[in-house]
Structure 1
Amino acid sequence: MRMQAIVAGLVSAVVGYASSFTVVLAGLRAVGATPGQAASGLLALCVGIAAVAIFLGLRYRMPISIAWSTPGAALLAATGPVPGGFPAAVGAFLVCAALIVLAGLSPWLARAIAAIPRPIAGAMLAGVILNLCTAPVRAVVDIPLLAIPVVLTWAILQRYRRQWAVPGALVAAVIGIVAHGPGLSGVALRPSIELTAPALNLSVVVSIAIPLFLVTMAAQNVPGMAVMATYGYTPPLLPVLVTTGLASAAAAPFGGHALNLAAITAALTAGPDTHPDPRRRWIATVALGAGQLTLGLGAGLAMALVLLSPPVLVIAVAGLALLPALGSSLASAVTEPDGREAAVVTFVVTASGMTILSIGAAFWGLVAGALTALLLHRRTPPAGTETPAANHSRPVGIAQ
């Protein structure tokens, strides 16, 4: 039975890594990281996941799965180059980490994040990832010989083995890259460790740190707690936030953007298939940590494959990974009539990709959505309708 839990943890590590490492590399590169800095960031995140997952698993004897912030990486990819380059982005990562620690030390802040209206939270996330999710279509048009097998592999596995759909698409992409590319000879495959001195830039803090903190909390940490509760676990949220925040701060100078509770992969380690005894499922998260550490050593190879492939193909794999998140975030944004207009405004402004005062669209989308909600707020619901407040405070989840 112990081996069953270990296998579940290793599978969770592989699925989580393969499903979204392209999103992480694309996001880091978009905000100015060199290939070496991006590979270093990926390695730092893997080491952070390993350390936190093993520590929390042993400390609380619960299957507390940890992951990098996939919506945060998508936010970076949507933000693009920032004033001050990658050092300014690293400074924003540190501010985000400090906010996560503060949320763990100040329960009121965690409650405030959990109270973000669900339509606005979903709309912001949808706007952030929309452009990435259209990449598979662009890839099929631009490089059909490489992209069509990737999309077909994803579609078939999505039908029969959903959890392996994105890893399978990644394998198809790698096969295509190796078959049509110059090969890996001469490419540095060893893991890269590069230290970047952080720089604080107010506009970058507003563009990256605050939205990164919000999407990490609303789209990862809170849904992660909900998944755990589904299987009968109640991890101590505040210590978890402090631990992941400190680990994020440690990873930031090496290029890592943010760590958090896992959501979808949490189900792979907390469910009954992991171990029949719920008190022994924590073994799976310790195995997950060991698996992530091993996968992190391949960060150089991952970056090499990204460099050898057409950029649109890498973004296409990332887009396939984010399609479920786009669906759930759009549903959260428009399902409830009350707040729909504010959600649409948030989505349109965020998806526009505009930059004002060197501040990116995700922040302005939140501002526009909040102002629209205030403008259209009705103190008394129309006769015959009732919209419980609780329905507007459930954040949207993301697939990882």
Structure 2
Amino acid sequence: MNLEPSVGLSRPLTAGVVTALVGVTSSFAVVLTGLAAVGATRAQAASGLLVLCLTMGLATIVLAWRHRMPITVAWSTPGAAVLATTGMVEGGWSAAVGAFFVVAALILLTALWPRLGRVIARIPPSIAQAMLAGVLFPLCLAPVTGLVANPWGVAPVLLTWLVVARLSPRWAAPAAFAAAAIVVLVHVVGTGAAFDPVTLVPRLELTAPTLTGEAVIGLAVPLFLVTMASQNVPGVAVMRSFGYDVPWRPAMAVTGIGTAVGAAAGGHAINLAAISAALAAAPEADPDARRRWVAGVSTGVSALVLGGFSAALVALVAVAPVAVVPAVAGIALFAAFGSALQQAIDDPGERLAAVVTFLVAASGVAVAGVGAAFWALIAGLTVRSVLHAGRGRSGPR
């Protein structure tokens, strides 16, 4: 292996550390919110956060090292939002774990049968993004409602986010988390609450999976579709924009295996990074594109290190004052919500179907025990089929 001197590697190494820090600190609250919503206890949620850091770190190292590309793997933040809005399914937490295994199997199937990936890619982007926007919408309202419920706790978080978003957008969500951490510490000092040292030690909590129809249809299917349509497919596109052709089958095999390995410990899904992928793949990571793979490896190693703080993060959340953690989770999703909403309504010919999809997903309704995300997809595709029936490709839009 022929590497440049350590001075030359400082930029990609630093870029990797930044990528991992931004990815974890900006969205871990969303993950914890999602896991708790589908029935995870505090210990199980901490286990899920830990195993996600471990699996995405190892997957990133394997892919970046093997293919000499700055490929980065992340947990599925949109998938965590699906968990948060779907809530408890029949069978509780063990059924949710079973759904995670189903997601892993579907991701692996896309590696063995690439046509499945192409089928997912053929879902109209407007419908897929409208479903995602609808899923994110209730969570993005949390900073607004939280500001009313606990203005002294939430206002500093929002103000910090706004100022940093003006100065350095990529650090806005992590800065909001830092502000929330200060709010929590002030609250702890003021109330005399204490951390139990035992809960600060990261450990895995394994759960035997069970399969229920409600969990498979209402949780696994939307989780898989959102992960593919809003993470894996865009992740490949982002990497291609920087001149890297991500090997689809190996990437799906590694993330599918990683999801399967982490499922019993509470990891809902890992996937190719999309937005954060640019931090390691852009020229800022290293002017020499051939050396940027080092940033990928650095990202993976940093994720492994951050996994050691998973229990501490959960303990911090546990003692947080009302509305602060949901506000941080909502802030972390602002950019994703805005992007999804823009793509959903960008094409006038697809707008009506996208609006229906968004409204059904945002409603949170459950029919026959199946959550709104699934029915949003069905409703959007149905409306689109009726509106486009009989039209050729060149028909009016």
- TM-score with structure 1 setting the length: 0.94
Which stretch of structure 1 is more off in the superposition, 272-281 or 182-191? Answer: 182-191
The answer for the alignment partner of 1:79 in structure 2 is 86
The answer for the alignment partner of 1:200 in structure 2 is 211
CA offsets 1:339-367 (integer angstroms, 9 cap, x no match): 21111111111111111111101001111
The answer for the alignment partner of 1:66 in structure 2 is 73
Indicate conservation of the 8 Å contact 1:184/1:304, yes or no: no
- Between the aligned partners of 1:225 and 1:185, the Cα distance in structure 2 is 42
Letter in 2 for 1:24: V
- Between the aligned partners of 1:174 and 1:186, the Cα distance in structure 2 is 17
Confirm or deny that 1:329 pairs with 2:367. Answer: no
**Which residue of the other structure, out of 106, 109, 125, is the alignment partner of 1:118?**
125
The answer for the alignment partner of 2:5 in structure 1 is none
Displacement of 1:378 in angstroms is: 4.3
Letter in 1 for 2:323: V
- Between the aligned partners of 1:20 and 1:380, the Cα distance in structure 2 is 42
Letter in 1 for 2:275: I
Provide closer, same or farther for how the CA distance between residues 67 and 380 of structure 1 changes in structure 2, counting only shifts above 3 A.
same
Provide closer, same or farther for how the CA distance between residues 382 and 70 of structure 1 changes in structure 2, counting only shifts above 3 A.
closer
- Between the aligned partners of 1:227 and 1:310, the Cα distance in structure 2 is 38
The answer for the alignment partner of 1:316 in structure 2 is 327
In the TM superposition, 1:153-168 aligns within 5 A as: 153-168=160-175
Confirm or deny that 1:185 pairs with 2:192. Answer: no
Confirm or deny that 1:34 pairs with 2:41. Answer: yes
Letter in 2 for 1:294: V
The answer for the alignment partner of 1:380 in structure 2 is 391
1:222 alignment partner, SS class: helix
In the alignment, structure 2 segments of 5+ residues that lack a partner are 1-7
Indicate conservation of the 8 Å contact 1:231/1:270, yes or no: yes
Indicate conservation of the 8 Å contact 2:130/2:354, yes or no: yes
- Between the aligned partners of 2:194 and 2:166, the Cα distance in structure 1 is 33
- Between the aligned partners of 1:335 and 1:277, the Cα distance in structure 2 is 36
The answer for the alignment partner of 1:109 in structure 2 is 116
Indicate conservation of the 8 Å contact 2:150/2:322, yes or no: no
Displacement of 1:124 in angstroms is: 0.2
Displacement of 1:186 in angstroms is: 2.4
In the TM superposition, 1:5-154 aligns within 5 A as: 5-154=12-161
Letter in 2 for 1:372: V
Indicate conservation of the 8 Å contact 2:187/2:321, yes or no: no
- Between the aligned partners of 1:86 and 1:115, the Cα distance in structure 2 is 32
The answer for the alignment partner of 1:394 in structure 2 is none
Indicate conservation of the 8 Å contact 1:37/1:192, yes or no: no
The answer for the alignment partner of 2:371 in structure 1 is 360
Letter in 2 for 1:106: W
Letter in 2 for 1:221: N
- Between the aligned partners of 2:183 and 2:322, the Cα distance in structure 1 is 13
The answer for the alignment partner of 2:381 in structure 1 is 370
The answer for the alignment partner of 2:228 in structure 1 is 217
Displacement of 1:371 in angstroms is: 1.0
**Which residue of the other structure, out of 340, 344, 359, is the alignment partner of 1:348?**
359
In the alignment, structure 1 segments of 5+ residues that lack a partner are 388-400
CA offsets 1:256-278 (integer angstroms, 9 cap, x no match): 00000001211010111111211
CA offsets 1:22-42 (integer angstroms, 9 cap, x no match): 000000000000000000000
CA offsets 1:96-136 (integer angstroms, 9 cap, x no match): 11000001111110001111101111110011010000000
- Between the aligned partners of 2:246 and 2:356, the Cα distance in structure 1 is 36
Indicate conservation of the 8 Å contact 2:38/2:88, yes or no: yes
**Which residue of the other structure, out of 245, 259, 264, is the alignment partner of 1:253?**
264
Letter in 2 for 1:265: S
2:74 alignment partner, SS class: strand
Displacement of 1:312 in angstroms is: 2.2
**Which residue of the other structure, out of 259, 263, 278, is the alignment partner of 2:274?**
263
Displacement of 1:192 in angstroms is: 2.4
1:273 alignment partner, SS class: helix
- Between the aligned partners of 2:62 and 2:149, the Cα distance in structure 1 is 46
- Between the aligned partners of 1:313 and 1:364, the Cα distance in structure 2 is 31
Which stretch of structure 1 is more off in the superposition, 179-188 or 338-347? Answer: 179-188
Letter in 2 for 1:242: A
After the TM superposition, list the runs of 4 or more consecutive aligned residues in structure 1 that deviate by more than 2 angstroms.
181-187, 378-383
Letter in 2 for 1:124: M
2:271 alignment partner, SS class: strand
Indicate conservation of the 8 Å contact 2:195/2:315, yes or no: no
Letter in 1 for 2:314: M
Indicate conservation of the 8 Å contact 1:192/1:299, yes or no: no
Displacement of 1:83 in angstroms is: 1.1
Displacement of 1:241 in angstroms is: 0.6
- TM-score with structure 2 setting the length: 0.95
2:130 alignment partner, SS class: helix
